Copies of this chain bind each other. A is one copy, B any other.
Amino acid sequence: MGKQIILTEVGPRDGFHNESKILDTATKVALIEASIEAGFKEIEFGYFTNLEKAPSLADVEMVYEKIKHHKEVKLKALIEDAEGLSRAVDAGVKQVKMSVSASNTYNMKKFNMSNEEKLRAIEKLVQEAMSKKIQISCAVSTSFGCPYEGKMTPSKIDTIASRLVEMGIQEIYISDTAGMGNPAEAENIFGFFLDKYPDRLFSAHFHDTRGMGLANVYAAIKVGVRRFDSSFGGLGGCPYVPGGKGNVSSEDLIHMLEEMGYQTGIDLDKAIQIGKKLETIFEKPMNSYVLEAGKSSELIRT
């Protein structure tokens, strides 16, 4: 199996989304451009939604307009509904991402829709996006456990994922939204999907809520996953764990992968610099081990 791993930097959306301090557009653009400069080829840069749902991301159009675009860099926006898609289209966005939970209770709470209603809404968005030649991906959230319904199984997740596959979606994220997953589940769930749908891309989105973020990544790699989300500085939280840690930190993930001999194409030192900048910007330590401990390869010269 290959040693190339593709990371998507989700900090500009998933990270900033969860921070109460709102950054100005120029700062966001600088951090996104620094991530591109570090080597990220995929970035989740924003969320086309209303002010109430994401006050810290309200300038999404301006951010997209000001980023220096590169042919080889995919800039993905989260959308939720027709209005969000329409705004993304108007802004010239070429990649959009949606989300549906594997849990009916979660879909009801978050979207006020049942699984079936949400899937039908997604289908319409997929058709609309495809008609406009916009790449559309979708996350199956709470796949490693829902804070209301508890654990999921591959077959339960597949009641959602199979429909996304039928709709023609090429990339599906299996997301541990509530940070409840463990590596045995990562192996089991990703093993199931990579085996069942060899013609689709399955990406892993892990949180480090209970310390298993990197363990889950390792387990997923072992069964063949080569696409992971991560967030600079480990920014982003778990909405069900007040103060709990969120996304796996990009620096820690790059560090682990490079230490194991995988190639990410990302310059770890530059990623660490971004993490340090975030500590200054947000005036707090990040959820990142290598920012504190340094790289394993940094030896004491005597």
Contact = CB atoms under 8 A, between A and B. Distances in A.
Interface of A: 105, 145, 147-150, 179-185, 208-215, 217-219, 222, 238, 240-241, 243-245, 249, 252, 255-256, 259-261, 289-290, 292-297, 299-300, 302
B184 A245 contact: no
Contacts of A208: 211, 289
A266 B181 CA distance: 21
B292 A243 contact: yes
B209 A289 contact: yes
A261 B184 contact: yes
A296 to B, nearest CB: 4
A146 to B, nearest CB: 8
A241 B289 CA distance: 11
A209 B150 CA distance: 31
Nearest to A243: B292
Given A148-B302, A249-B211, A296 B255 contact: no
Nearest to A262: B184
A240 B147 contact: no
B212 A245 contact: no
A225 to B, nearest CB: 14
Nearest to A145: B296
B148 A209 contact: no
Contacts of A149: 299
A244 B292 contact: yes
Nearest to A105: B302
B244 A293 contact: yes
A256 B219 contact: no
Given A292-B243, A293-B179, A256 B300 contact: no
